[in-house]
Amino acid sequence: MGIITTQAMAEPNNNLPKFNCDAMMGGLARWLRAAGYDAEFEYGIDDRPLVARALATGRILLSCDGPMFERNVITSGRVHALLIPRQLTKLQQLRFVMSELDLPLARPRCMACGGELDEVPKHTVADEAPPLAFRNCRKFFRCRRCAKLLWHGTHWQKITRRLDEIRP
């Protein structure tokens, strides 16, 4: 199964860069998380607090907003930022980021919030998992940050296949 191959080959998540995505890049943030990266995204956030947050946290700022890159903190190199070409699809954006920064595919994180996932024993989620998922899936995971339950079902497999397509 594709997911197992990917996880076996995935790098550990230590020392990987973290990201702040601009208000337009929610889709990219979700894909970055699936590829194993901690990517923050806040719907509707203005440029100024976004840049301030990247400065305070050392996260790499990802944006398709050209004028933002003329800001002093970015031109001076105090905030690391990458300009994403506007016309790319979400998956092409992910491929762009990973190839520009030479990043490996890492262990998947929660696509909803970017938290790390811990495997949980199947029998502990019997009441919580949807019956079909519980019957068909062997592996279940819980997000450390938002407590969301995830499993290796068809949705996850589809995401893994798309990630395998962009593997360098």
Q: Which residue ranges make up the site for Zn ion (CB under 5 A)?
A: 110, 112-113, 115, 143, 145-146, 148
Nearer to Zn ion, 9 or 112 (CB): 112
CB contact set of 58 (below 8 Å; sequence gap of 6+): 18
Residue with smaller CB distance to Zn ion, 25 or 111: 111
Compute the least distance from the CB of residue 3 to Zn ion, in Å.
18
Q: Least Å distance between CB 15 and Zn ion?
A: 21
Give Cα separations from 35 to 11, 89, 106, 109, 162 (angstroms). Answer: 11, 16, 6, 7, 10
The smaller minimum CB distance to Zn ion, of residues 19 and 96, is found at 19
Q: How far is the CB of 115 from Zn ion (least distance, A)?
A: 4
Q: Are 19 and 57 in contact (CB under 8 A)?
A: no
Our CB check for Zn ion shows the closer of 36 and 79 to be 36
Question: What is the DSSP-derived secondary structure letter of residue 86?
Answer: T
CB of 41 to Zn ion, least distance (A): 13
The number of C-alpha atoms within 13 Å of 86 and in the hemisphere containing its C-beta is: 4
